[in-house]
Amino acid sequence: MKVSGLLASDNRPQHEIESWVFSFWDKNNIYHKMKSSRGNKGKLYFLDGPPYASASSIHLGTAWNKVLKDALLRYYRMLGYDVWDKPGYDTHGLPIEILVEKMYNIKNKKEIETSVGIERFVNTCLDVVENNIKGMTENFKQLGVFMDWENPYVTYSDDYIESGWYLFKVAHDKGLLYRSQRVLHWCPRCETTLADYEVSEYTELEDPSIYVKFRVKGSDNLYLLIWTTTPWTLPANAFVMAHPDMEYAEVEANGERYVILSSRVEAVMGEAGVTNYRVVRTFKGSELEGLEYAHPLEDIVPAQSVLKKYHRVVMAPEAVVATEGTGLVHSAPGHGDIDFEVGSKLGVPPISVVDNQGRLTEDAGKYKGLYFRTEANEAIINDLRSRGALFHIGKVRHRYPICWRCKTPLVLKTTEQWFIGVSKLRQELLRQLDNVEWVPSWAKSRIASLVTNIEDWVVSRQRYWGIPLPIWVCNNCGHVEVVGSVDDVVRLGGRRPEHLHRPWIDEITLRCPKCGGVMTRVPDVADVWFDSGIAFYASLGFPRNKEAFNRLMPVDLVLEGHDQLRGWFFSLLRSGVIGFGSAPYRRVLVHGFVLDEQGREMHKSLGNYVAVEDILKKYPRDVLRLYLLRNTTWEDLRFSWHNIDVTARDFTIMRNVYAFASMYMSLDGFDPKAVTLDSVRDHLEVEDRWLLSRLNSYLDEYRKRLDKLEVHEAARIVRDFIVEDISRWYLRLIRRRVWEESDTPSKRAAYATLYAALKTWILMAAPIMPFLSEYLYQNFIRPAEPDMPESVHMTRLPEPDFSLINKDLEDKMEIVRKITEYALSARMKGGIKLRRPLKTLYISPSSQVVQDAVKELQGLLAQAVNVKEVKVVSSELLNELREYSLEPEFSTMGPDFKKLTPAVIKALQSDAMAAREILQKGFYDITVNGQTVRVERRHVRITAKYPDWLLAEETPYGTIALDRRISEQEALEGTVREIIRRVQYMRKQAGLSVDAYIELWINGDEELLAATKVLEDYVKSETRAAAIHYDSPPEGVKSSEWEVDEKRLSLAIREVKRNQQ
């Protein structure tokens, strides 16, 4: 079959073409057909990192994420893999709860139960995520992402929840699940705990910076001076920590003595404005051990009645920092992690004086009910001041942790939670990292750092919308039962609830297997990172459905942003080792964030947010895809409207390439089945052999890059091959061959070469630009090869033909292309258009490699630069053409030549050989007033330039020079080409087909008419003019006025019917 000419006349905007492609895919059920046409290379289990369903539209970073995934999955399908492509959605957690709280105008957690009710609240959470999933799914489909959108995994389903219970059961059976009291970050707004890896957001806050005096027992005026920015923790103070090996000082000031770290005395006194002080003595911190003190608030804080027996100095070097504070650290074991650890060793109870809403408790006495960071701080400072215990008060601005969900400042407090003891698995986790390929390699070191410092996993949360912990506790004997399935619930005397969420699961009681008592479920839900962390098996329905798990595991590929090294990748790793003893994935690809042009995160509040839908209103989907995919995958992308616009221009070039091929191949009846590469192999020109080599080199490199997950490099190859190699080079070289009227072996070779390149390019472009590639495939390839698969996305990617690769030719062509760029730049600087032929391009090559390239490809270079000949010359020859001028250096010439100086200057400037002689020998002897003087290089400034008729450029490839002197014949050719260009424009404006013949009327300047008459046959062949008339056109034929070489010209055309030729 012959190539269709449709693409030559299809001027529809890209948006319309993409709509057509969507319709084609839907009408022909392409996705499902593609899925059913599995290859023979085996399974590829891709696990989709589930985006969080907190909004119905996606962020540009999420778009990049999904497009990356889609490109790789399309590539693997084209290689013949059976790709598992189930998408997922992360649906539980506080962000959803907070959205629902706003809908009901809920002010605090208690109102969820008292005003709304848990059932209604949870059902609304479900409605919100289902609506958001619909919106996000449509967004992903609009980007052309081919995944199994009809069957996504969602973390809120009962099946998924039951899979989560399985891991809790395994952890319990392995002795890893336990309940314990710890100091953890707590959100007083959300009223739940946060794990250490969730404390990732900070903000600048101002807090009081106070120095407090703790009086040493047995002394009236000796004080331990402590520093704190959290006065609200002072009611819970139990002891003071010091460093045994650091030097401390006893300092006298204000009639009192203070114990301070020696290196901090000057800074502390300076901050407090104390200038009159003296150091009484210095000593090791170990001398302070056991020193008892009196708490300044112990008589008004009930908690102090329990804690005062621990009031003494203890050695804790891990808590002391020599660059801030006083070297004496106030410790409240109920409100600090180090404090808790030290206190546990000492047997100090970790009393917390802050409740779940951030207000001080009864244990804080008069401060009960005050909010910790504001009201409590103010009241405590006032009491310290009135009691003479406040040494100094100031302010400090520092980074303070906030809740990543609601942005409320967090509080460290003692809380009882459920943990999985993953710290026991540290070494195994580290070993498993070696079994994974990390792309880029630095990702491994980042996650290894997290694993090295891993703490036990806080898996419980005190909320509602999440996987309920499958833990029941006997009300009678305290026995703990962890169930792994609904079957376990039924076995233990319970029933299957309507839903596995709260509140339905809360109603289920079990029978205690130990004492027969009633067991009730703990009210907590799981950490939301637990949900996504089990996706590798829960999305497959394991353990109820073991078949898919056994067939697909392990995961072959996961890819997400680099923040997921401490998030999802970390959670998957933990869950894999807990449940199955191994990392669940084989390969991990990390990508960057999308930022604004200044490198800031995109937020609506900053006014720099760019919505995906706004981009797609302005630019086609494939433009956005290529723009995103060309960015180095693991580096952050700085979004730029200018750069995406530049990308859009490339698409015009791509379509023009296919329009060119479609037009000329269809006019000549080219049939790729009849005219194959093998059939024209003996007629291939050097540019054909180069393009075929380039094609196969790029195909080989393209596959290698994608195999290594370097999507950006593959995307750049796809763009560069069509835009740079084909459009801007190869088509320029073959244009005259395809314009020939007769059917020649050379033309057939050009068509066969171009068709092979364009066909393969479509297949290579398919993963990157699925819409354009499908459109081109359906309108360029399939009309000529109807036996090809129904869709480009059902094809197999070809293997490179290494026999066609000629690296030596590619290297030489690259040199010639670079030289061409410099030559065209020289033309531009000289104001000489490319259409105007020049006589000679001189090249003085910088190396033998350059010389060989120019000599072998001399004809191509001449054609590309539009010169009659290319001459390789020596640097000496070009230097001979230079014109030199001398300027005197008066600072050296005057002292040496004195009164002769003016005469020497005049003689030098009138001597044509002087400058050249000085450059070659370093001096020049000249006779002045009968006296011979020697002029040296230091006496003059020498400048050299080429004559005006030579356009020269110094380049890395040597000196290139264009002879701009134009002969009469060359001038005529240039003039006529300008006329031809205007006629061709008029043909296009008139909508004439490429093979249509015309009559041409030319009238105007006599020189222009004369030039046309001399080269009339050439004008006729280039414009398909059956006849040329040198007068005004007849009535009814419209003429157009033009300017050529600053001369006026009138042109008119009329189509000639074939029977009139």
Neighbours of 806 (CB within 10 A): 18
Place of tokens 């898919």: 548
Measure the CA–CA gap between 227 and 331, rounded to whole angstroms.
Answer: 11
Q: How are beta strands 1025-1029 and 997-1004 bridged, if at all?
A: parallel
User: How far, CA to CA in Å, does 100 sit from each of 51, 82, 124?
Assistant: 19, 40, 7
Q: What angle do CA 888, 891, 897 make, to 5 degrees?
A: 70
Cα(794)–Cα(634) distance, integer angstroms: 29
Cis peptide before 888 (omega within 30 of 0): no
Got the DSSP string for 77-100? HHHT-EEE---EEB--SHHHHHHH
Would you say the C-alpha torsion 806, 811, 814, 815 has a positive or negative sign? Answer: negative
Listed in order, strand segments (DSSP E) in 882-979 are: 883-888, 923-928, 931-936, 940-945, 950-955, 958-963
Residue at 562: amino acid letter: H
HEC string for 134-162: HHHHHHHHHCCCCCCCCCCEECCCHHHHH
Coil vs helix vs strand at 821: helix
Q: How far apart are CA 992 and CA 572, in angstroms?
A: 63
Least Cα distance to 793 among 192, 29, 12, 14 occurs for 29
* CA nearest to 21, candidates 865, 620, 450: 620
CA distance 886 to 941: 6
Q: Which amino acid, one-letter code, is at 139?
A: N
Sign of the torsion angle spanned by Cα atoms 945, 950, 956, 958: negative
Q: Is residue 141 part of an annotated ligand binding site?
A: no
Tell me the C-alpha distance between 237 and 983, whole Å: 93
Instruction: Please tell me whether the peptide bond between 440 and the residue prior to it is cis, using omega within 30 degrees of 0.
Output: yes
DSSP 66-79: HHHHHHHHHHHHHH
Q: Do the beta carbons of residue 834 and residue 875 sit within 8 Å?
A: no
Are 956 and 846 in contact by the 8 Å Cβ rule? The answer is yes
Of the CA atoms within 13 Å of residue 751, those in its CB half-sphere come to 28
Q: How far apart are CA 77 and CA 767, in angstroms?
A: 10
β-pairing, 923-928 vs 931-936, is antiparallel
φ, ψ (nearest 5 deg) of residue 75: -60, -45
> In the structure encoding, which two tokens stand for residue 297, read together?
């608030």
Q: What is the four-CA torsion angle of 641, 647, 648, 651, rounded to 10 degrees?
A: 180
Q: How many other C-beta atoms lie within 10 A of the C-beta of residue 339?
A: 27
Q: What is the DSSP letter of 52?
A: B
Amino acid at 1028: I
Backbone angles phi, psi at 81, to 5 degrees: -80, 150
Evaluate the omega torsion of the peptide bond into residue 947 and state whether it is cis, within 30 degrees of 0: no
Token reading at 8: 């030559």
**Letter string b/e over residues 743-775, b meaning 16 or more CB atoms within 10 A of that residue's CB:** eeebbbbbbbbbbbbbbbbbbbbbbbbbbbbbb
- Which residue numbers belong to the known binding site? 604
Annotated binding site for ATP: 604
